[in-house]
Amino acid sequence: MNYVADTPRLEIFRVAGIPVKVDITFALVPLFLFGTLEQSPLVFSVLVAGVFFSVLLHEFGHAILARLFSVPVGEILVGGFYGYARMLKPPPSKLANIIILFAGPLTNGLIFLLCWNALGQPEIGSTGRFGPIDPAPWLADSPWKLQAALTLASINLAMLIFNLLPAFPLDGGRIYRAMLGAMLPDRAAIKTIALLGVLVGVWSAFMGLRISLVMLLIGAQIAIINWSILKAPQDAGNN
């Protein structure tokens, strides 16, 4: 997922020469989790760390595929429920761009499958809640490991699905824009995705009223961004 505006950020380490930074909006993660969850300090810490590493690994997915296509990556940013891998030049082709964009959500999908398998492949309800679990022995005897696996499975399943929705600036919006761009003029492709993005944002905000404040705020932001792009598609840029 892309980010909308520059915010204060701090470099925390480097991986293969790529700076990994956290911006100030990540403070929203513990703030919202603290306000919506009644958990022990250990579980709370695991939840915050789960959000951080899920976003980070998503962006690493983009970065690794970008480098395979000889696209240099300037930095990886982890923010409040979003992330960004900044590429220093465009991908060599539309197909390469689509593959790089898919890499992030598919990384989340792989993490989900690994955790889901370790939890005994439980059934998943329509709301995303897991049914009875039968964890692997190395998980069953450690409450914090079990909570970490549950957290990573839930977060990465949500990131996989959400990031493939047709809305800017989600990966899905940019993927479908590139696909439609092969059949329609670029302006028409942008407006089509922006219109769908408004609907996705409104739906997400509505669901957030029933599920979580975080989802409500994210949905509202997506609706506003896509409405702005719908009115001025020439300003879509790299969204």
Tokens linked to 77: 């940013």
pLDDT band at 42 (very low <50, low <70, confident <90, very high): confident
What pLDDT was estimated at residue 2?
45
DSSP 2: -
Q: What is the pLDDT of residues 154-191, one digit of tens each?
A: 889 989 999 999 999 999 999 999 999 889 999 999 99
Q: What is the pLDDT of residues 98-124, one digit of tens each?
A: 999 999 999 999 999 999 999 999 999
Which residues does residue 74 pair with via DSSP β-bridges, in sequence order? none
Could you give the CA distance from residue 103 to residue 117 in angstroms, rounded to a whole number?
21
Domain limits of the chain?
1-164, 166-239
Q: What is the mean pLDDT of the chain?
A: 89
Could you give the CA distance from residue 178 to residue 101 in angstroms, rounded to a whole number?
10
pLDDT band at 39 (very low <50, low <70, confident <90, very high): low
Tell which residue, 205, 193, 217, 108, has the closest CA to residue 154.
108
Of 127-131, 135-139, 216-220, minimum mean pLDDT range = 127-131
